Amino acid sequence: MTDGIGLTGARILLKRLRNVMARGGPAQMRLDQTVKLIAGEMVAEVCSIYLLRAGEVLELFATEGLKKEAVHKTRLRVGEGLVGDIASHARPLALADAQHHPQFAYRPETGEEIYQSLMGVPILRAGRVIGVLVIQNRTRRQYSEEEIETLETVAMVLAELVASGELVSQDELRPGDGIALLPIRLDGITLCPGLARGVAVLHQPTLQLLNLVAEDPAREVERLTAALSEMHSSIDALLSAGDIAGHGEHFEVLETYRLFAQDQGWRNRMMEAVQSGLTAEAAVQKVQNDTRARMREVTDAYLRERLADLDDLANRLLRHLLGADVPSTRRLPDEAIVVARAMGPADLLDYDRTRLKGLVLEEGSQNAHVAIVARALDIPVLGRCQDLMQKVGDGDPLVIDGDNGTLFIRPSDDLLQAFTESMRQRLMKREAYEAIRDLPAVTTDGIKVDLLINAGLLMDVPQLAATGAAGIGLYRTEIPFMIAHEYPDVTRQTEIYSKVLDGAGDLPVIFRTLDIGSDKVLPYWKRDPEENPAMGWRAIRIALDRPAMLRQQLRAMMNAASGRKLSVMFPMVTEIAEFDSCRRLLDLELQRQARRNIPLPSEVRVGAMVEVPALLWQLPELLPRVDFLSVGSNDLQQFLFAADRDNPAAAGRYDTLAPAMLRALAEVARAASEAGKPLGLCGEMAGDPLAAMALLCLGYRALSMAPPRVLPMRATIRGLDFKGLRGYWQTVRHLDGPSLRSALLDYASDHKIPL
């Protein structure tokens, strides 16, 4: 490296910078001293610091080399110019010819037109960009990787000064909502249903790092090694708590978390950072910042969720390194709702579960590890609440409506009264549902309907008893694959399926073979990105291209069902030949088991899911081959209307009670009835009371739904007079219009049917 800074120079710069940060005096003065120091040590004519202000604006706060009158006057929007681009992507940028870059934005008041090259890095705090640090040179300079890393480390030091609030108040960055104390409503997604009321407790694990430059690298290696050992021991103790230890997916999630903590790659990257001259705690922070920057570009939801686990581990390790309080249980007010950008599963377990009433996340998904653990603890959880951390203050009163995916911040008295009434009504409904839990789902004139549950986790199986469901109409086998740290072998799969069957007892269970692909990814399985994954390589298409995978799964199911009935269903069947191929693989496994004298299931029933519209015109050929059919209403609807159900702009555009959908469902019911084959329906439609009324009229007698919908649906069924409903249906089913929903709602209202 002919220009710039080497390893020794980087250490000297960091030590001098630490001295500047440690001095007293105004923060602006220290910032001015900092840019002068960096420019000198990094052989740059310009060093500038831009800080984020309200309205997503980056303001020039300090400079060495640009015109001083531009300070506090030059502003760039996030995404505008090279500085704005660095902020919007949270990644470094190094250019030998910056002025000819398409993103270059000229600001005449700065005088920067004479500078050719530019290198900038984001100033990050808790994973968020709070500013940008830039150096510039007159000549075209090729900045090295070492220089970029040095500037990133310098930015870590600056982040502590910026985050103090002396330069930009944290209140300024909180978006205004009229009068600040007015109630605010945020919409999110339900990760665990329920209602909760409490005060906000901000989950802020970020710790202040005071020492970033190592005086003795060997000593820092010892400190990091000792802290890792302490952390492993504390995690072991945490995960052995009586109310969380045991079996089930939540326990597997925690075991996966434990393996993350022991990952050698993570450890090695931190050790390399220590060897470069950082303290152990600075090394932990740098590795996590690097990981966050890379993950910003990842669109895969599952992989992004794993970042929360890594954040959790990094902060846990920092607490051990800094000697910060690592309590066995974090104290909470009597009724607390924890608010976080994201959270790992072990962090949730740090809180006093007797006082924890709910959890709200700015990020999060149904498969987030923390959500799975929260479900095991029966804690209402909301996710994807945009700008949550900017709008909620510590101690703010909160109300979670987990049933409708809504958070109320600083709720009004009227809203609190409504919440109290909702809780009362909820309790009354729960008591009413409990009273009919063990009663059959039969209409007033004797039409019986089997109400089953959809499941995908072992913790769902006890819902059979809790709801009085008639069985599991859909067991999604892919979810245990998605939360495991490696592909489950036949032994592990057999264990899972055995526990499902054991938990179901004499009740039927329909296992759907792996429906991976689309939005359901396996973190340990690398695959090329797809333009339209929902209609791409997924489900049965993957299984037939990877027959060994399907055979192993079928083998595990047969082992688990030894001496018991086994029902297997293939998803995403598009052509008869696909079903035939899957059936042949199943027969090969049966023959294999027989040759080895392995006990077989007492009966094997094989079915197909009707999800792809093309199958509607192949039912006469398909029905003689299957033992049962199940309509997958979610995918059938999205493919029938060519409307991506994960796209908010299209998902709600078409109704399940639209004429086209109802005619497709009617055709499946007619064909199955004529062939004498059992027919069910699973998906969100099954749990919708108005849709269920239509399905009964079409001939469906088995509906599989989310467990919380079973008891309300039983109340709806028991309140129906089928003969009267059928007569009304005949009068409205040919009405013009986009949906029959309003007509069915009128009938339910007129006849006081519980919905």
**Residues labelled as active-site residues:** 369, 682
62 forms bridges with which residues in the sheet? Answer: 49
Give the number of other Cβ atoms within 10 Å of residue 544's Cβ.
16
Contact, 358 vs 194, CB < 8 A? yes
- In sign, the C-alpha dihedral spanning 217, 221, 226, 227 is positive
Measured CA distances, 190 to 307, 406, 722 (Å):
20, 8, 33
Helix residue spans in 409-517 (DSSP H) = 413-436, 463-467, 478-483, 490-504
Nearest-CA neighbor of 266 among 236, 300, 247, 290?
Answer: 290
Alpha-carbon gap, residue 226 to 282, rounded angstroms: 16
In DSSP notation, 152-207 reads HHHHHHHHHHHHTTSSS-TTTTSPP-SSTTS-EEEE-EEEE--EEEEEEEE-----
Angle between helices 301-322 and 249-261 (to 10 degrees): 60
51 forms bridges with which residues in the sheet? Answer: 59, 131
Give the number of other Cβ atoms within 10 Å of residue 577's Cβ.
10
**In the Cβ-directed half-sphere of 527, how many Cα atoms lie within 13 Å?**
19
- In sign, the C-alpha dihedral spanning 67, 71, 74, 77 is positive
In DSSP notation, 519-547 reads TB--TT------SSGGGSS-THHHHHHSH
Contact, 562 vs 544, CB < 8 A? no
Alpha-carbon gap, residue 110 to 396, rounded angstroms: 43
Alpha-carbon gap, residue 745 to 260, rounded angstroms: 50
Alpha-carbon gap, residue 96 to 80, rounded angstroms: 19
Measured CA distances, 356 to 239, 248, 345 (Å):
18, 22, 14
Amino acid in the structure at residue 141: R
Alpha-carbon gap, residue 697 to 717, rounded angstroms: 12
- In sign, the C-alpha dihedral spanning 260, 265, 268, 274 is negative
Contact, 512 vs 493, CB < 8 A? no
Nearest-CA neighbor of 657 among 683, 623, 631, 693?
Answer: 693
> What is residue 278's DSSP assignment?
B
Nearest-CA neighbor of 574 among 544, 607, 618, 514?
Answer: 618
> What is residue 277's DSSP assignment?
T
608 forms bridges with which residues in the sheet? Answer: 570, 629
Contact, 358 vs 198, CB < 8 A? yes
- In sign, the C-alpha dihedral spanning 729, 732, 738, 740 is negative
